[in-house]
Structure 1
Amino acid sequence: MSIVAAYAVPHPPLLLPEVGQGEERKLQLTLNAYERAMKEAAELAPETVIVVSPHTVMYADYFHIAPGEMASGDFAAFGAPDLRVMADYDEPFAKELAKAASAEGIAAGGVGGRGAALDHGVMVPLSFLETHTTDFRLVRVGISGLSPKEHYVFGRCIARVAEELGRRAVFFASGDLSHRLTPDAPRGFAPEGPRFDKACMKYLEEGDFLKLLRMDPAIYQPAAECALRGLWMLAGVLDARALKIKKLSYQGTTGIGYGLVSFKVMREDPRRSFVERYEMLERRAREERRAAEDDYVRLARRAVETIVRTGKLPPVPAELPEEMTGRAGVYVTLTRDGAPRGTYGTFEPSAKSIADEITRNAAHAARNDTHVAPVTEEELDALDITVDVLSEPELVDGADALDPKTYGIIAESRGRKGVMLPAAPGTETAEEQLRAARKKGGIPEDAEIRIWRFTSERHA
């Protein structure tokens, strides 16, 4: 046996009467769809249920597979401490999955998660499923900061292990779509929110996993979603399978997008294997971006490649464009498939030229950003690089002088500083920008701050 079906499901605890206290009726369409989906899943008689949740243990470069014999959790964080969920783990499956991932060059396993309680991303779908069946064992996995391709390949590993162990299995990708659909949404409104939800539901309903894998980070990052990485994994779980797809529901009435889609496996279909096509298109897109890079980005890339390969800084070119001979603060940002791979910047000049500033900061971004692992040589071709050359910071009186789309900011309090560049994802308002700057600088919410603003000349 193998994967017999997969489902994209949301996980609002509000759906459960013990939590919703009547408010769940606002999501009646989603409730009805959930009941239909779980009744159908139970009728498939799965021996193993695999759930990927964005709220379980997560690492930048590692897929967590929950270890142990069993786990439980409750909804105390949502006002219902007596509502509990328990599940026995499929330990042999979890162990074989870690081995299968390793064989593909993907790090995965149970590090850091022994004894961890079930999270609501797992408990909500299980709460509905267990009204129809409890005759299954659970495999609980997390998402990661790795690329769409690696999520897809990890999904393929899940399907392969199910087949090798002879498990009749059902996969659930648990995640909510945009949290920014309306002005009263938890994260406020962003135009990318509705755009993301519309595109995501379209790709799922059409089974267009290639477009799902290649979705633009400029859309999904500001949308504040927690579903996409699990959906990349779902696409891999269903690799090379002909599917019967049904959109069960979509609602965004609370400002958060909740979509349910079912995928029933019909037969094998090699034409529906997407990873090779994804790699070809991504390689072509990278080549086009590289060809369009200007002197600023090329200089940063040279510094990154040299420091990673040799451990040394390259010399600054003797002949520089005139605009790179002056002095300014510079931020260099490295990303891979939309995920952060290093950032380093100076909001005031510390080197003798902009070119020198770029070289130093690019090398620091590649090797010394403590929030991510150092860039490896294998990643160099896949890196996207952005260089921001900053204007001189200007002290302002308060939030009224800010515009996140135009100005970056420096928030300072008692020697602590937090910096946000202009047009950063998730900062639509001055308040959001200030909150993010405080967080970056470790500045308490109630601490008095001084604020500087600056503009940025962006090169990408």
Structure 2
Amino acid sequence: MLTQTEGDFLLKLARTAIETYILEGQVLNVPESPSATLEENMGVFVTLHENGELRGCIGYPEPVKPLLNALIEVAIGAATGDPRFAPLNSHELKKIHVEVSVLTPPELIVTDKPLEYLEKINLGLDGLIIERGIFRGLLLPQVPVEWGWDKEEFLANTCLKAGMSPDCWLQEGVKIYSFQSQIFNE
């Protein structure tokens, strides 16, 4: 668990990385860390909202890089590389709201039958990754709460995010992982 002070540091770093990239065309250097925890490899997502609407979301679901390095990359990615949106421009910088989600490592959910997934998912606590072959989709824990989804809708929408049919979670060969996240908001 990160402290609120560490979370505030991550939020400022994400915003500074975005502003530096958009205004100066430069990738921010990784600053000195205020704690050893922030130097550990962790999964992280940066989500941007503008006027309450999603404006970008990019992240690393796996702990593949030190948190501060990963955060700078995904903050810039959320602002300029989310294929669902045009890159953020300088006029939007004051309008965006930054959210940082620091993830636990994903864990495979083991079941005997697909319907058991419904018993093993905790809405509002678990994020999901669904994969089959080359298809992979992820939804953060806050998404089903924001949309008012039940567990089946959460699974179906994660399947859709992976580019598969909404009932793919019932099919053989599909792997479903859960993870948790600690969320910090501006």
Q: What interval of TM-score do these two structures reach, taking the shorter chain for normalisation?
A: 0.7 to 0.9
Amino acid at match of 1:319: S
Match of residue 51, structure 2, among 337, 348, 362? 337
1:358-437 counterparts in 2 under 5 A?
358-396=71-109, 397=111, 398-424=117-143, 425-437=146-158
Give the structure 2 partner of residue 297 of structure 1.
Answer: 11
Scaled by the length of structure 2, the TM-score of the pair is: 0.85
- Give the conservation status (yes or no) of the 8 Å contact 1:403–1:429: no
- Residue 298 of structure 1: CA displacement? 0.5
Give the structure 2 partner of residue 256 of structure 1.
Answer: none
Percent identical pairs in the alignment equals 30
1:69-80 counterparts in 2 under 5 A?
none
- Give the conservation status (yes or no) of the 8 Å contact 2:156–2:167: no
- Residue 427 of structure 1: CA displacement? 4.5
In 2, Cα distance between equivalents of 1:328 and 1:422: 16
Structure 1 gaps of 5+ residues are 1-292
In 2, Cα distance between equivalents of 1:383 and 1:446: 34
In 1, Cα distance between equivalents of 2:126 and 2:22: 32
Instruction: Go from structure 1 to structure 2 and tell me whether the alpha carbon gap of 1:435 and 1:446 turns closer, same or farther (over 3 Å shift).
Output: closer
Determine helix, strand or coil for the equivalent of 2:22: helix
Amino acid at match of 1:328: M
Give the structure 2 partner of residue 306 of structure 1.
Answer: 20
Give the structure 1 partner of residue 166 of structure 2.
Answer: 445
In 2, Cα distance between equivalents of 1:435 and 1:312: 39
- Give the conservation status (yes or no) of the 8 Å contact 1:333–1:365: yes
In 1, Cα distance between equivalents of 2:63 and 2:179: 13
Amino acid at match of 1:430: K
Give the structure 2 partner of residue 456 of structure 1.
Answer: 181
1:224-263 counterparts in 2 under 5 A?
none
Determine helix, strand or coil for the equivalent of 2:84: coil
- Give the conservation status (yes or no) of the 8 Å contact 1:405–1:428: no
Structure 2 gaps of 5+ residues are 1-6, 112-116
- Residue 428 of structure 1: CA displacement? 3.0
Between the two proteins, the alignment pairs up a number of residues equal to: 167
Determine helix, strand or coil for the equivalent of 2:64: coil
Amino acid at match of 1:393: P
Determine helix, strand or coil for the equivalent of 1:294: helix
In 1, Cα distance between equivalents of 2:132 and 2:56: 25
Scaled by the length of structure 1, the TM-score of the pair is: 0.35
Instruction: Go from structure 1 to structure 2 and tell me whether the alpha carbon gap of 1:323 and 1:296 turns closer, same or farther (over 3 Å shift).
Output: same
Q: Which has the higher contact order (CA 8 A, sep 6+)?
A: 2
In 2, Cα distance between equivalents of 1:330 and 1:450: 21
Match of residue 37, structure 2, among 323, 326, 329? 323
1:9-28 counterparts in 2 under 5 A?
none
Determine helix, strand or coil for the equivalent of 1:375: coil
In 1, Cα distance between equivalents of 2:77 and 2:140: 18
Q: Deviations over 1:116-158 (max 9, x none)?
A: xxxxxxxxxxxxxxxxxxxxxxxxxxxxxxxxxxxxxxxxxxx
Runs of 4+ in 1 over 6 A off after TM superposition: none
Give the structure 1 partner of residue 114 of structure 2.
Answer: none
Determine helix, strand or coil for the equivalent of 1:356: helix
Asked if residue 346 in structure 1 is aligned to residue 60 in structure 2, the reply is yes
Amino acid at match of 1:389: V
- Give the conservation status (yes or no) of the 8 Å contact 2:63–2:105: no
- Residue 311 of structure 1: CA displacement? 2.1
- Residue 440 of structure 1: CA displacement? 1.0
- Give the conservation status (yes or no) of the 8 Å contact 1:409–1:421: yes
In 2, Cα distance between equivalents of 1:446 and 1:429: 14
Instruction: Go from structure 1 to structure 2 and tell me whether the alpha carbon gap of 1:446 and 1:294 turns closer, same or farther (over 3 Å shift).
Output: closer
Determine helix, strand or coil for the equivalent of 2:182: strand
- Residue 313 of structure 1: CA displacement? 1.0
In 1, Cα distance between equivalents of 2:13 and 2:20: 11
Supply the RMSD in Å over aligned alpha carbons.
1.4
- Give the conservation status (yes or no) of the 8 Å contact 1:427–1:433: no
Amino acid at match of 2:181: S
- Give the conservation status (yes or no) of the 8 Å contact 2:45–2:58: yes
- Give the conservation status (yes or no) of the 8 Å contact 1:404–1:427: no
Q: Deviations over 1:299-348 (max 9, x none)?
A: 11011111111222100102332221111110100011111111101110
